[in-house]
Every structure is written in structure tokens, then in C-alpha cells.
Structure 1
């Protein structure tokens, strides 16, 4: 509920503080007194898009503060939580508009964006007038209004959940179909490539091993002769033979050398051992350098084959194995595709059946509610002097979606025998206002009230008993809630629980607008003015008192 509205330096308002009450709050005043400025200011603090120039002439900035009472279950708490803003049982919105056009907003003393303000406003305020494009004139909102009347939250939740499951199942089936189609288009290539790779069976690190072996064999012919010569020089015809002779000669002389040859003999023995190691190493090298030319040819052939496949598939030689595994997996997908696709199709069909079931249940609930709404509207239109008008809720098929597959449109026929048509083409401004009011009463009777409703001259163009009926329905809407109505109708004003008069004041330098709360006697005077004009007669006062007592 809107509790207070504080306006400073906005348009022709210098400073204004208003405290609103539960029930029917009535604002009256002469044309041009500034009633629309109140709505502009309230719309400004709620983030609505409106006039570009709002700052009062001569002021540096304009400011509006609005406070709301929030019960624990109010949907504004969800908006605050999602925006990371502090909550509580009171919500304070403040917005400043500087002279250069900059706008800054706070929610419970925290900076907030205009988007957050608008999200909050959707939970706090409903503004309605003769040209209410967010209500009956907007066919896109008719289904939501019917759902609100029908109270089908559970059915809608079930349909949304089923739609989500169906969408996921459809996307999974479509993705699998696309993947299979892509693989099938390259099936011949995959099978040929996998066959080549399986036949060659390249191993990780094999290229480096083959390359080293190839280089070794290529170099063998160049070094084998020198290695063989070194082997001969170390053998019996070379170093081994000469050292053996020297060892034998020294052993023969050692007995007569008085020990002088012991150390040389030990050194020769050690040298012969090292020489033996050198001979074995040379022989091993000769054995390694001895190869079959066919082996070199086979090594080169495999090395070139591995490198050729790597170039062909644009991968490193060591990645040919994992690459082959990937190709085999793609082939496996193709080979298993029929079974996988069948499973996905069955899942999609099951999800479709579930969605159809919930959508049909929602359609049945909507259809039943449409009949009740048409009857309720007929009951409400009769006292509004539209007993001959026919309001009808039409339901047609619509593309399936998260809110079912029903299109809803409200049509009316204002004259007997006339074909029904869209509200904005059939109803006049005054008639549209009464249709809107009747709809709001029906929604409130269905337990769908809760927000503060503002009606801007919704009674324009009606008078007498019809205006009285409008006022009584506004009062009924306000029972247990809060309604603000800007009105020129004395019948409506007389039914208000709280009454303010908007006045324009002029002095030598400026024009300002203010709002004055009215007591009982002042209300009589104001309603008498609305009945008789500037000259207030005793008869007008008596008529005003009669209206207030009725």
C-alpha cells in the first residue's frame, strides 16, 4: 500500500507531502489544477517513462520520495532479493532529477537502477485510465487476465515444467540428428581413414625411434671401415699382439731383475684388461653397424608412411593414435545411431504426451473460467448502464509454448445484434472505462487484488446513476485494499473514504500547485462545487450531503 508521497521542486510543485490511507482515496480539483502532476511525480519515482522536463523552474533538481507498506508475502520482496537490496516491512523509493537531465534513484537508501524501479512498480501500482494500453486495450495481456481470474497457478506451473522438459528433449533429439547427419555425410571418409590407421597402427614415439634407426643405418657405411680398422689395430696383429709379446718378454726377465719389473708387469696386465674391453666395444659397434639393406628400406617406408598420414590429417605423428580413436568414436556414433535416436525419439514423444496432457488441463480450466468471467462481467456491466452490452472471452488455438497453446481475446458488442469485435474498435472511451472497471471488480472478487490501483478520470463521460455505479465499484475495489482515483464526478467523490483537493495558486512571480486534505465540511463544499460550479448554492450543498449520505 502507498503510504506517503513527498514531492519537491517538480513542475509547479515546490513542496508537497501526502499521507494516503487504506480504502478509497479521492483527488479532485479544477481542470489544470495539477492533478496529472501528482501522477507524473509518482510515475517518476517508480521509474516510468514520462515527461522529459520535470524540474521546477529555477530549481537545481527535483526529488520525489514514496513509501510503501509491504506485507510479508508481497511480491516486491522477491524483486528486492534478486536485486540484492535490503527488504523489510517498509519500502522507500527516492529519485532525483537534476537540471541537466541526470536521474538517480535509491531503494531503501541503496542506489538502484530504473530497471529495478520498474520491476518494483509492477508489484506495487496499477495505473488505469480511459486509454489504458496495459490493460484491456492490449490483447497480449488478455490471456494473463483470464489466468488471473481463473487462479490457474498450479496448472500454469505444470505446463511450464512440461514445456521445459519437452524443449530439452526436442533439442537433444535435433542435436543427435544433426550429429548423425554430419557423420553419415563423411562415413566413407571415416571408414577409409580408420582402415588406413588400423593397418599402419602407429605408436606413440615410433616416429622418433624410426628416424633415429634410419639415421644410424645411413651413417653406418661411412664409419664401418674405420671402426673395423680400429678393431684390427687393437687385435693380435696390432696392440694386443705387441703387448702380449712385451708381457711375455718381461716375465722371462723378471726373475733376474730383482723386482724392478713387477710394477711394469702389473701395468701391462691392467692395460690388457682395458684393451679387452675396448675390443669388445668395437666388436659390438661393428655388429650394430652391420644391417640388411632391406631393413633400411623397410624402416624408411614405415617412417614415410607415418609422416604421410600425419600430413594428410594435419596432426602430429604422435597424435595419430588418439586421432584414430576419435574417428572410431565417430563411427561408433553412426553405428549406434539408430538405437540412440530411437531412445531420444521415445523420450521426446513421452515429453510431448505429458505436455499435451497438462496443456489440455489448462485449456479446460481456462474455458471454464472464461464462461464464469463472461457471466461475472454481465453482472457488473448492468449497473454501469451497459446491460445491453455483451462481453465475450474468445479462445482459439495458438502455437504451443510455456503457457499452453491458447490465444485469448476479449471481444464486445455494445448494441444488440451487432457483431462482437475488439474492445479498442468497438467501445468508446467511456464504455472502455466501464469495461475496465468491471474487469477489475471481477478480478478482485476472484481474490486477485493486492496492489494499489490508481484510476485516472476513469469516470469521464458518465454521470448520474452510472457515475454512482462507477463510484460504488471503486469503493468495492478499495475494500480491504487501496484505490486512488482522480475524478471530476461528484458521485464518485462522495463515496471516497479520504478526500484531497488539488489547487493551483498564483502570485506575482510564480504558479504552484498544492494538495489539501479535506475534512467533513470541506468535502461538502468541494462536492457542491463539483455539482454547481464556482457558485455554490444551498441546494448544491444539500445535494452534496445527500450524495455523501447515500
Structure 2
């Protein structure tokens, strides 16, 4: 709940510090005293969008600080955790507005954005009045209000989960269908390419092997003739025969040479042995260089085919085998696609059925809860002198979404036979205030941790009706906190805590102040509200009667 508000240099407030209490807090004062300025300042520190010219004339900046007590389970704690801000039992909000319009905010002494302030404010304060566009008068929030009144959290959660499952199933089906369409668009190419690759059946590393083999055969074709000629030069018609003849001639002369030919003959013998070794090697080389010209043609043909396919598909030759597997996998997916799509479509239909069941259950629950809410509000309208008015919660179909398929709006008819219409368009000022109050009385049981602010919600009513308004405000404040700005003495008299808003002029400067009232001062203030500027003894007696003193 709101424990305090510190305002500096805002509009006509120079410096003001207020401490609020649990229960019903009433703020009274003459028209124009500055009660709305307090709400403007509170709205500013809560991040609400409002008037721009908030800084007091002549001041460099205006500043507002508000502090709240947070219960252990207060929803503001979750907002703080999500924003990465410190969480404690006390929440301090501070916001500055410079004369140039630049705004800066802090939460528990940590800088934060206006968005975070507004998220916190939704859990901290709720404003009700004839110009309220954040609470009960906002049709966009009526569905949430109805669900909160009926404690439909579990059903809403089931619908949200079913919506997520359905959206996920649809997304998977759409992605698979898109992939199928893309594959089908290139099916003709895939089948031709796979057939072409399968026919060639290239293997990893094959291109290098073929290239080496081709170069060897090309080289052998060029040098084999020279090697054969060399063999013939060394053979029986060449060096071999000549060396044999030389050896025979030397051997015949050796007996008459007294041993001088033994060494040359030994050398010649060794040469003949080496010649035999060389001739054996050349023979082997000639055999190795022997190939069928058809083999060279076949090798070149396959090598060129592999390289051509690699260029065609913009891959390396060694990647052709893997590329073929990739294309084959696409074809397999295409061939299995119909069955897969049928399964995905069945999944979508199951998810849609689950969502439809959850949404229908929520619609039925909302319809039942709407009847209970209408009955409860009608019961509250009678004491507020609106027994002939009709409040109805209208539930109409809308496009399906995570919150179901229902549009919820609160409608009213102020007189029998009159057409019903939106709450904020049909009711007059005083009627609207009472409708809002009756509705809020019925809803307080489902809300906790909020400080409720009613801005002149008793406008246009008086007497017994004003007393009924005050008593319902007091009932709402039990166990919580309500701040009410009022001109009604009946409402003011029922407050647990009372402040008077005063305006004064000093040295040509207008300022506003807020004074807490003791019991005697409170009698005078209620008497002023009864009698006007001149407080009579009769007015004081009427005030004491209202205050029960």
C-alpha cells in the first residue's frame, strides 16, 4: 500500500510530504485548492502519461517520491525481478522532471524506464473517476476484470497453453509444407542429377588416382621408344655382342701376354655383368610402360567426366559422393513427404480441437460468471438509488487468441426500456460514479495489494445516496487502502484518516498545502462542506452527527 508521497516544485506545490495509512483516507478542500495536483503528481511518479507542464514556475526541476509497503506475495515483486531491480519489503519510486521536459526515474535507487514504472503502477495503484481511462472505464480490460472476478486463472492458463501448442503445430506444418514445395520445385533436377551421379558413381580420392595414372601413361607413351632403342643398343646386336667379342679376343691373347691382360679382362667381365643388370632393369621398365591405348582413353574419359560434374554442381571432385547423398536425401524426404504432411496435419487438427475445447470451456465459465457479476452489481445499485438501472456484461465472439474467443464489455441502461450501451458513454456523471463504485465493490474480493483511488466518485449525489457511497468506500477499504478525493460531507465523515487541501498566496506566489486534521479540525471541515464558507453551529452539529461524535 502507499505509505508516503514527497512532492517538490510541482505546479503550485513548493514542498509537500504526506504519510498515508491503511483504510479509508479522504482528501477534502475547496474547488481549485489543488486536490487534482496531488493525483497528477502521483501519476507522474508512477509513469502515467499526463500533462507536460508539471514543473513549478521558476524552478529548475520538479521531483516526486512515493514509497509503498510490499506484502510477501505482492505482484510488484515479479515486475521488479523481471526488470532486474532490487526487491525489498519497501518500494521507493522517484522521478524528476526538468523545466525543459526531460524525465528521469529511479526504483529503489536504480535508474529505470517509464515502461517499468507503468508496469509497477498496474500492480500498485488503481484510479477510478469520471475521466479514468486506465481502470474500469477501459473496455480493453473488461475481460480481465471478469476473469479475475470469477477466479478463472486455471481456465485462462489452459487456453494460453492450448493456443501455444496450436501455434507451434501450425508453424511446424507450414515449415514442412514450405520445404516440400521447395523440394518439389526442383524434383526434376534432383532426379536427373541423382541418376547422373549414380551412373558415374564417383568415389572420394578417385580423381587424384585417375590424374596420376593418366600422366604416367602419357609420359610412358613419349619415352618408351627411347628406352627400347637403348635396350637394342645394349643387346646382342649392340654393346653386349661387342663386349663378348672383345672378351674372346683378349682371352685368346692372354696366354702370350705374360699376365698383362688379366686385369683388363676382369674389368671387362664386370662390365658385362653390369650390362646384364642394366638390361634387366630396362626390360622391366619397358614392360611397365606397356599399356593399351584404350585404357588411356577410358582413364581420361572418366577423369574428365568427374571434373565436369564437379564444375556443374560447383563442388570439389572429392565432394561428389557426399553431394549425391544430399540430393538423394532430399528425394527421400519428398517421397516420404505426403505421409509426413498427413501426420503434421493430424497434429494441427488435434491441437485445434484441444484449443477449441479449452476456449469453449472458458466461454461457458465466463458466461456463468457474467450472470453472477451482473447480479452482484445490481444488488449494489439499489442502495445507491439506481434500482431501476440495468448493468449487463456482454460477451460476444471475437477472433481467437491466447485469451480465448470472447470479447467482454460492461454495458448499462439507466432506465427501463432504454437501450444499453458502453459504460463510459451511457451513464451521466453521477450515474457513472455510482456504476463504477458498485462494480468496484463486487471486484475488490478478487484483488489484493492495490491502493484504490477514487477521484470525486461521489460527484452529483448527496443525502442518503452519498452516505451509501461513503459506506461502500469504507467497506472496500477494510483490509486495504482507499484514497478518495471528495466534496461530500457524508463520504468525508466515514474516512478513517482525513486531510484538507489548502491553497494560499504569499508574495504573489500561489502554493498548495495538505494538512492532516485532528478531531476538532475535522468537525470544522465537515461543517464547511455542509454549510459552505460560513460555518454555523447547526453545521457543526450536523458534522458531529455525521462523524458520530
Normalization by structure 1: what TM-score? 0.91
Quote how far apart the aligned CAs of 1:52 are: 1.9
Q: 1:258 to 1:535 in 2, by over 3 A?
A: farther
Which whole-Å CA distance do the structure 2 matches of 1:233 and 1:537 have between them?
152
3-state secondary structure, aligned to 1:17:
strand
2:80 is matched with 80
2:99 is matched with 99
2:461 is matched with 462
1:24-423 to 2 correspondences below 5 Å? 24-232=24-232, 261=263, 282-423=282-423
Q: 1:225 to 1:444 in 2, by over 3 A?
A: same
Tell me whether 1:451 sits opposite 2:447 in the alignment: no
Tell me whether 1:501 sits opposite 2:500 in the alignment: yes
The CA RMSD measured in Å over matched residues stands at 2.9
User: 1:277-333: per-residue Cα shift (whole Å, max 9, x none)?
Assistant: 765655455444433232232223223322332333333333222221121111111
Which whole-Å CA distance do the structure 2 matches of 1:505 and 1:423 have between them?
38
2:515 is matched with 516
Quote how far apart the aligned CAs of 1:233 are: 5.0
User: 1:209-251: per-residue Cα shift (whole Å, max 9, x none)?
Assistant: 3334334444443333334344445656666677788899999
User: 1:375-413: per-residue Cα shift (whole Å, max 9, x none)?
Assistant: 001001111111111111122222222112122122211
Tell me whether 1:538 sits opposite 2:517 in the alignment: no
Contact 2:128/2:136 (CA < 8 Å) preserved in 1?
no
Which whole-Å CA distance do the structure 1 matches of 2:328 and 2:91 have between them?
63
Q: 1:415 to 1:219 in 2, by over 3 A?
A: same
Which whole-Å CA distance do the structure 2 matches of 1:22 and 1:321 have between them?
79
Which whole-Å CA distance do the structure 2 matches of 1:265 and 1:53 have between them?
126
Of the structure 1 ranges 422-431 and 249-258, higher mean CA displacement relative to structure 2 is found in 249-258
Which whole-Å CA distance do the structure 2 matches of 1:78 and 1:401 have between them?
25
Q: 1:529 to 1:241 in 2, by over 3 A?
A: farther
3-state secondary structure, aligned to 1:545:
helix
Q: 1:222 to 1:28 in 2, by over 3 A?
A: same
3-state secondary structure, aligned to 2:364:
helix
Quote how far apart the aligned CAs of 1:444 are: 1.2
Q: 1:221 to 1:504 in 2, by over 3 A?
A: same
Contact 2:83/2:116 (CA < 8 Å) preserved in 1?
yes
Number of aligned positions between the proteins: 547
3-state secondary structure, aligned to 1:336:
helix
Which whole-Å CA distance do the structure 1 matches of 2:245 and 2:438 have between them?
134
Contact 1:207/1:318 (CA < 8 Å) preserved in 2?
yes
Contact 1:457/1:485 (CA < 8 Å) preserved in 2?
yes
User: 1:169-221: per-residue Cα shift (whole Å, max 9, x none)?
Assistant: 12212222222233233322222221111111122233333334334444443
Normalization by structure 2: what TM-score? 0.91
Quote how far apart the aligned CAs of 1:422 are: 1.9
5+ long unaligned stretches in structure 1: none
Contact 1:220/1:289 (CA < 8 Å) preserved in 2?
yes
Which whole-Å CA distance do the structure 2 matches of 1:374 and 1:506 have between them?
49
Q: 1:514 to 1:222 in 2, by over 3 A?
A: same
3-state secondary structure, aligned to 2:224:
helix
Contact 1:250/1:265 (CA < 8 Å) preserved in 2?
no
Q: 1:483 to 1:232 in 2, by over 3 A?
A: farther
2:2 is matched with 2
Which whole-Å CA distance do the structure 2 matches of 1:75 and 1:239 have between them?
111
2:486 is matched with 487
3-state secondary structure, aligned to 1:71:
coil
3-state secondary structure, aligned to 1:419:
coil
1:478 is matched with 477
Q: 1:122 to 1:201 in 2, by over 3 A?
A: same
